[in-house]
Chain A
Amino acid sequence: MIRKKAKVGTDECVACGCCVKVCPRNAISIFKGIYAEVDKNLCVGCGKCAKECPASVIILEEAV
């Protein structure tokens, strides 16, 4: 089964935290005010964060 997980383009991330607010599993945190970080163990790949991200830097990717 293919499972997708959220992946943040950390270089372009503005660390606004919109993704943190919409994540239903509290899987995202802002690393030291610099970029968003996804806990791959918690992420279920729902894609809410990717949709919300004002900079559109979150993509859903097949987890390895």
Chain B
Amino acid sequence: MREQSEAVGPTRALWVPFALGRPLGSAEDPEFQKDVMRQAFGLLANATEPTIADYEGPMPEEAGPGQWACPLNLGPFVDDTLTGRLLAEVGRLKTWSAQTRAARGRTMFGVSGARPDQIDDVARALASIADADSITDAPAGDVEWAFDMPLLIRHLADDVRTFYHEAIAAQPGSAAPNHDALNDWVFGGTALGDTLQAVADRLTAADDPMASLVRGLVIPEGRYQGGSAF
């Protein structure tokens, strides 16, 4: 953010008005990205003293809240438990996630330590946290987790969201949803959103500083029904 750049005083900086997570502005738009880079590189030739310049150019196209909706009907569920609902939802999204993985030739799922085909294990592990007796014991299963508990919970959540993002990326339609539109969908009635709320409740109930910290890493600010992380 500009306020932080002004506080630190970098030698040459280009301030861009794009959303967090998108510093080059627009995905799969090489010319847009290179235009941003050219403006930054231009400071090498033009700046004669420490400078924070403003990006000049178009804003990227993205679908905000109300401009994008997931076309899939993810209910109803035969097994109405949290785990049952999440696994059913994941099951319905698998064909779409597979489409994206095939088109991209890759996946970024698996930071938790899971293999690309272990989404069920990750979803089951995430849902199990909601009713877990302990938040320091790793979930049971066949995955060699890359993190200790409770930090693992943050990356279980991230891996499941990565899978969901892959699933919606394959669907035909308009511009890709932005952060707010995605959160409106996830926390607007999906089993994943309900699972994350329940996991956050469990972390809150632990009344432990590390658990509270991880709670703030599981649900984006403004989306937890139990209040702010800050």
A and B interact: no
Residues of A whose CB lies within 8 Å of any CB of B are none
